[in-house]
Structure 1
């Protein structure tokens, strides 16, 4: 799987880690779930159906 590095404010990183821990999922999975809920991200995925990975077909998995 490709790796994307993001520079985020410390408070955002800590909140992401805390939320992921509370949900019992890795931070990357929580971030992917959050991205799937954004209309702009959904449109970008729809524009590339041939490259659409299986995980993108899941609805936002709420594990709280």
Structure 2
């Protein structure tokens, strides 16, 4: 799931998210295939995490502990 931030001045109901009420400056998860439908409205939404970003992130290796 992608993540976007709502930039509007008042809460808004988003039917696509199950009639969820989204507050100003709130970050919400949206379906990857609908991400473009949000970020194409830059006055209302801003990208926080693009589609597939979680899957492509790599985790850091555990630090090596030298005994002795």
Structure 1 and Structure 2 fold alike (TM over 0.5): no
TM-score (norm 2): 0.26
Does 1 or 2 have the higher relative contact order (CA < 8 Å, sep 6+)? 2
Q: Which has the higher strand share?
A: 2
- Which structure is larger by alpha-carbon Rg, 1 or 2? 2
Flag the structure with higher helix content.
Answer: 1
